[in-house]
């Protein structure tokens, strides 16, 4: 736009391209300060503790359809599990999970209601930050508030938002894509069930072949340059294609050759801006799929592979449905499963992270205040 803005105020993709004070929109000292806080806070989660939450929610979701003998694994499993788990990890009340399952993909797809969904997510996270300021917990929001890097309230909100959105987008697609491979590729399933390939290796193969996020938005050239023989002008918006990088002939001349155990794909980007929460996504996908296949080992598709529909957006492609059938299982009417113990923080590092000497530029609450109806 001539006035320097990226898009009209009500642009549906605004939630994904509007500048926030987060690691993916910064570099230099500010980036280092913010990334250190996010990475160290995420590393405080215990992997076994995360798996307890995943198993609990996976069992709840499976219980809801196990007696039916059929299910849509996108609507009833893969699209719900990551958000239910992440709601716990950020410290949000559990009742927000189902609404977030609808709101976050709505933002990502840039629908007519994307801005309304963005407003809901932002308000919810604002309330979460305010509640954690009054009462800390064993969760990402509390750890960001307490980090020595001294994040502002908006920086905490913004990074919880980034983690929530990124975790959903990547993990929901990773679960669905892996289950599709299991259900449609006999060799893939045989290798998995026969022990010739672990589930962890299977996930990495899917990350190579079907990246959960195809394109990263919102990178702008800060100066005129040339990249790959293409002229790029200052201010040009760049779309970074992770999926294209994974099929570069210089890296994979034969796409049919398995790449078991190879994590050098670009599904989570690479370098300084590599996704800091990728191992949490892997843990959710790995544990959730394991729980599903253990409880429903006879699961099979009810349609042919070529009938499976995919919906494409600027950022990703995802399965619309994954209809399956299996022998119905009765779910015993037992008492509710006990709540998992709170996730304990790891022992503090020997050398505390010191705040950067360069403070971030002041971030006024004006935009957020207007959104929340405050002055």
- Reduced to 3 states (helix: H, G, I; strand: E, B; else coil), residue 216 is strand
Chain centre to alpha carbon of residue 189: 25
Alpha-carbon span 115 to 109, nearest angstrom: 11
Judging by DSSP bridges, how do beta strands 300-301 and 225-227 pair with one another?
unpaired
pLDDT tens digits, one per residue of 326-368: 999 887 643 344 455 555 444 343 333 333 333 343 444 444 4
Q: Which two tokens stand for residue 276?
A: 């800091």
For residue 15, the model assigns a pLDDT of: 63
Contacts of 196 (CB under 8 A, 6+ apart): 190
The model carries a pTM of 0.81
For residue 11, the model assigns a pLDDT of: 60
For residue 327, the model assigns a pLDDT of: 95
Alpha-carbon span 311 to 318, nearest angstrom: 6
For residue 365, the model assigns a pLDDT of: 43
Judging by DSSP bridges, how do beta strands 225-227 and 230-232 pair with one another?
antiparallel
Find tokens 């403070």 and name the residue. Answer: 359
The residues with which 220 forms a beta bridge, in sequence order, are 237
**What is the DSSP track for 22-70?**
SGGG--HHHHHHHHHHHHHHHTTS-HHHHHHHHHHHHHHHHHHHTTTTE
Q: Which two tokens stand for residue 200?
A: 């962890």
For residue 345, the model assigns a pLDDT of: 46
Give every residue of the chain whose pLDDT is below 50, as ranges: 1-3, 333-338, 344-375
């Amino acid at each position: 736009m001539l006035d320097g803005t990226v898009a009209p105020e009500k642009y549906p993709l605004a939630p994904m391209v509007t500048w926030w004070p987060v690691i993916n929109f910064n570099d230099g000292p500010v980036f280092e300060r913010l990334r250190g806080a996010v990475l160290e806070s995420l590393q405080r989660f215990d992997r076994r503790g995360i798996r307890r939450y995943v198993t609990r929610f996976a069992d709840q979701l499976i219980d809801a359809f196990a007696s039916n003998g059929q299910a849509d694994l996108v609507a009833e499993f893969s699209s719900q599990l990551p958000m239910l788990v992440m709601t716990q990890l950020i410290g949000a009340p559990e009742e927000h999970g189902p609404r977030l399952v609808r709101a976050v993909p709505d933002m990502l797809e840039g629908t007519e209601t994307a801005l309304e969904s963005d407003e809901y997510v932002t308000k919810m996270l604002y309330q979460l930050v305010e509640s954690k300021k009054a009462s800390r917990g064993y969760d990402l929001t509390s750890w960001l508030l307490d980090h020595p890097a001294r994040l502002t309230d908006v920086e905490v909100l913004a990074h919880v938002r980034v983690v929530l959105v990124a975790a959903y987008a990547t993990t929901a697609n990773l679960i669905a894509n892996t289950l599709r491979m299991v259900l449609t590729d006999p060799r893939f399933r045989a290798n998995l069930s026969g022990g010739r390939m672990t589930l962890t290796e299977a996930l990495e193969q899917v990350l190579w072949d079907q990246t959960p996020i195809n394109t990263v938005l919102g990178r702008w050239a800060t100066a005129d340059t040339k990249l790959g023989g293409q002229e790029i002008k200052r201010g040009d918006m760049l779309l970074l294609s992770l999926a294209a990088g994974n099929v570069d002939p210089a890296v994979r001349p034969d796409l049919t050759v398995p790449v078991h155990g190879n994590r050098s794909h670009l599904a989570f980007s690479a370098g300084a801006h590599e996704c800091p929460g990728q191992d949490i996504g892997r843990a959710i996908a790995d544990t959730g799929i394991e729980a599903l296949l253990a409880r429903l080992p006879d699961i099979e598709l009810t349609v042919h592979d070529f009938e499976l529909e995919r919906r494409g957006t600027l950022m990703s492609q995802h399965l619309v449905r994954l209809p399956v059938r299996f022998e119905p299982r009765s779910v015993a009417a037992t008492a509710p499963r006990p709540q998992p113990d709170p996730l304990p923080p790891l022992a503090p590092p020997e050398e505390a992270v010191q705040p950067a000497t360069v403070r971030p530029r002041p971030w006024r609450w004006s935009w957020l205040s207007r959104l929340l109806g405050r002055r």
